[in-house]
Amino acid sequence: MKYKFIIPGKPFGKERPRKSRGLLSLYTPRKTKMYEAIVRDIATKEAKMLDKPLKINITAVFDVPKSYSKKRKKACLEGLEYPTKKPDKDNIEKVVLDGLNPYSKLIKLLIKEKW
């Protein structure tokens, strides 16, 4: 069985954990949590909960920068040149895969706040 869903907007990579000022604990930045919640929401509308291993293909689509020359734009559109700036492949995969994990109480609270 195949499931396909599209996450609107620009590709987003998982941000590094942050350290709170006075405490010794780490936390996930709010922007990352919200993106994971969006991924989770879209995915759960398309697919049911699975209890078996699965294969995932992630395709991230980027705009060609306006500052590129015509020759370079053509190379990008033909697939000869790929993006080399942030976010990188690993961080895009991390945020999508973490977003596919089950809900946590904190994510439910953030959604209620409509951050």
- Look at residue 61 and tell me if it is in a domain: yes
How many domains in the chain? 1
- Look at residue 7 and tell me if it is in a domain: no
- Look at residue 1 and tell me if it is in a domain: no
- Look at residue 4 and tell me if it is in a domain: no
Nearest CA to 35 among 86, 90, 98, 80?
A: 98
Given a contact cutoff of 8 angstroms between Cβ atoms, the answer to whether 58 and 92 are in contact is yes
pLDDT for position 90: 87
State how far Cα 36 lies from the chain centre: 7
- Look at residue 5 and tell me if it is in a domain: no
Question: Please, what is the end-to-end C-alpha distance for the chain in angstroms?
Answer: 34
65-77 per-position pLDDT tens digit: 899 999 999 999 9
Token pair listed for 107: 């994510």
71-115 per-position pLDDT tens digit: 999 999 998 988 888 888 888 888 888 888 766 554 555 555 554
* pTM of the shown model: 0.72
- Look at residue 109 and tell me if it is in a domain: yes
Q: Which helix (H) or strand (E) holds 32?
A: helix 30-46
- Look at residue 6 and tell me if it is in a domain: no
DSSP result, 57-83:
------PPPTTS-HHHHHHHHTTSS--
C-alpha span between 107 and 46 (Å, rounded): 19
Residue 75: domain span: 18-113
- Look at residue 36 and tell me if it is in a domain: yes
C-alpha span between 100 and 39 (Å, rounded): 7
Three-state SS at 111: helix
pLDDT for position 114: 53
